[in-house]
Amino acid sequence: MFTYQLRLAFKSLRRNPVLSTLMVVAIGLGIAVSTASVTIYYIYSGNPIPDKSNVLFHVELDNWHPDRPFNRDHPERAPFQITYRDAMALMQSEIPAYQNAAFRTELMVFPDGGERRPYREVVRMCFADFFMMFDVPFQYGGGWTDTADQAPEPVIVIDSTTNQQLFGGINSVGRSIKIEDRYFTIIGVLAEWHPTPKHYDPTNNAFSEPEAMYMPLNFTPIFESTSRGNTWGWADESIDTYGDYLQSELLWIQMWVQLDDETQKQAYQDFLDAYVLEQKKRGRFDRPLNNRLLDVMTMLKELEVVPDTTKSQLVVSLLFLVVCAINLVGILLGKFLGRAPEIGVRRALGASRRSVFIQHLIECEVIGVFGGSLGLALSVMVLDAINRMLANGEQLHLDLNMVGAGLLLSLVAGLIAGIYPSWRICKVAPAVHLKMQ
C-alpha cells in the first residue's frame, strides 16, 4: 500500500513539474538557511571536549584591584587569567591529575638552518600535561615528559600544517628546527585538531586555530618571551626589566587542572585558598578570598563566547522556515483542491477518506524530503562560503547530528504544511464533483 501511495505521489509531482520544483525549492531554501544557522549555533555553543568537560577546571584567583572587581557587571567573578608568579607557584601542587599553565607568544623560526627567510610564528608555551589533559591528537610522536619541563629540554611539538610546510608532511620526529637562537628537537606532530570553541584559551578569539608550535613553558625566561594574547593589569608598578615583568601583577597565564573527583576538587580548592591566604600575609591579593574552579562549559558560558549575531540568526532563520512552511500550505492547498474532481471520482469508486488523506500526506513528505536534501546540499555550500569568508581556520561543517536535524526539520515542515491541505481534500464530497463532470 505504501509503495502504491508513494508511486501516486511521484506521479502527481511529475504532472506539474514547475509547481513541484517551486515547492521543493521553497522548502529547500528554508531548510538551507535554518540548518546552516542551527549548525553555526550548535558549533559555537558546543562542548569542545565532551568526555572531559566535567573534570577539567579553569583556575581563577581574584587578585584584581583592591577597590574594584574585575567585572563590574559580575563582581562575584575573578579575572580569567593569572599572573606568571602565581602560575609557577600553583604548578608545584601535587593534587591535580594533570595541570597546565600556558600562554601564547611569538618566536622567530629559522627554517632549514637559515636557507629560507625566517618568520615569526605563534607558539604556545605550556607544560607536558597540556597534551594529556586536552586529549590532543598526534599524527607522529607525542608530547614531552615532566623531566623535559623541568630542565627545560629543547623539545617542540608542531602542528600538521607546519610539518607540511617545513618537512613536506613526512614523519619529522627527531628532526631539529632552529627557534630564535637555539635548536629544538621535534618530539611530536599534531594530527588535525580544531577544538571549537578553543576552550584552553577562549579570551584570545575562541574561534581561532590552535597554535602552530608548542614548547616547554620554562623557556619563557630564557627567550624573555612576552604574551601575545590578552594581558590585563591594574597595579601601578614600574616594569623596567624582564624580571619585573615576570614578577608583576600582570595577568596573562591561562591555568587549567584536571580534578577527577569531588575529593580531589575539594583538596585543590583548599590548596588554592591556603596559597592565597599565605600571599595575603605578604600584602598581595587585597580582595575578598575568591578562588574559582570553573568546568569547561561553565567557563564558556560566563565568557559568552557565542556571538550575539549567531543567536539572532538562529531565531530569524527558524521563523524563515515557518514562513516557508506556510507558503507550502498555500501552494499545496491550491494544488490539491484543483484536483478535487479526480478525488471525487476516486472517492465514489470506493477510496476511503483515510487512504486519500495518507496519499496526500505522503506527497507532502516526498516534497519535504526532496526539499530537505536540496536544503542540506545548499547549507553545505553556505557553510563552506562562510568558512572561506572568515579565513580564520574555522571549521564550520555539518556533522551527522546536523544532517539528521536538517532531515527531521524537513519532515516536520512537510508534515505541518501537509496536514491541513490533505485534510481538506479528503473531505471532498464525491457527489458534487461527479455531477460537475
Partner 1 sequence: MGLKMVMEFGPIFRALLNNRTRFWLILIEVALTFAIVVNCTSIFLDKRQSFNSPTGMDIANILVITTEPFGDDFENEDYVEDVGASDLRRLRSHPAIINATPILHFPLSGSGSSTGRKAAGSELDAVSVGYFWVDENGIETLGVELIDGRNFTDADIEDQNDNDIPRNVIVTKAFAEQVFPDGNAVGSQITNRDGQTPATIIGVIDHMNNSWPTSTFGDHTMLRPGINHYSHEMNYLVRAEPLAIDSLYTELEELMVSLESDRVVTVRTLSEIKQGYFRRTLMAMKIWAVVIVLMIFITSLGIIGLTSFSVTQRTREIGTRRALGATRLAILRFFLLENWLITGIGLALGTLLTIALNFALAEYAEAPKIDPMLFAGGAVALWTAGQIAAFIPAMRATTVSPEIATRTV
The residues that touch partner 1, with contacts defined as CB under 8 A, are 22, 26, 29-30, 33, 65, 68, 108, 110, 117-120, 180-181, 226, 236, 238, 307-313, 315-317, 319-320, 322-324, 326-327, 329-331, 333-335, 337-338, 386, 389-392, 420, 424, 436
User: Least CB distance from residue 324 to partner 1, whole Å?
Assistant: 6
Nearer to partner 1, 169 or 338 (CB): 338
Nearer to partner 1, 208 or 291 (CB): 208
Amino acid 295 reads D
Nearer to partner 1, 272 or 305 (CB): 305
User: Least CB distance from residue 320 to partner 1, whole Å?
Assistant: 6
User: Least CB distance from residue 225 to partner 1, whole Å?
Assistant: 9
According to DSSP, residue 190 is labeled E
Straight-line distance from the first to the last Cα atom of the chain, in angstroms, rounded to the nearest whole number:
28
According to DSSP, residue 392 is labeled S
Calpha distance 344→347 (Å, rounded)? 5
Nearer to partner 1, 16 or 247 (CB): 16
User: Least CB distance from residue 97 to partner 1, whole Å?
Assistant: 35
Residue 437, number of CB atoms within 10 A of its CB: 8
User: Least CB distance from residue 241 to partner 1, whole Å?
Assistant: 13
Nearer to partner 1, 142 or 307 (CB): 307
Q: What are the helix and strand counts (H, E) for the chain?
A: 15, 10
User: Least CB distance from residue 433 to partner 1, whole Å?
Assistant: 12
Per-residue burial over 76-90, b = 16 or more CB atoms within 10 Å of its CB, e = otherwise: ebbbbbbbbbbbeeb
User: Least CB distance from residue 191 to partner 1, whole Å?
Assistant: 28
Q: Which residues pair with 82 in a beta bridge?
A: 253
User: Is residue 204 within 8 Å of residue 230, measured between CB atoms?
Assistant: yes
Calpha distance 296→353 (Å, rounded)? 55
User: Least CB distance from residue 385 to partner 1, whole Å?
Assistant: 9
Cα angle at 244 between 241 and 246, to 5 degrees? 115
Nearer to partner 1, 20 or 99 (CB): 20
User: Is residue 198 within 8 Å of residue 229, measured between CB atoms?
Assistant: no
Nearer to partner 1, 91 or 324 (CB): 324
C-alpha cell at 130: 597540556
Nearer to partner 1, 34 or 291 (CB): 34
Amino acid 252 reads W
User: Least CB distance from residue 408 to partner 1, whole Å?
Assistant: 21
According to DSSP, residue 210 is labeled P
Nearer to partner 1, 143 or 154 (CB): 154
The strand ranges marked E within 250-361 are 254-258, 291-295
Calpha distance 244→239 (Å, rounded)? 5
Q: How far is CA 99 from CA 88, 231, 278, in A?
A: 11, 21, 21
Task: Report the candidate in 328, 308, 306, 305 with the shortest Cα–Cα distance to residue 316.
Answer: 308
| SS3 state at 215 | strand
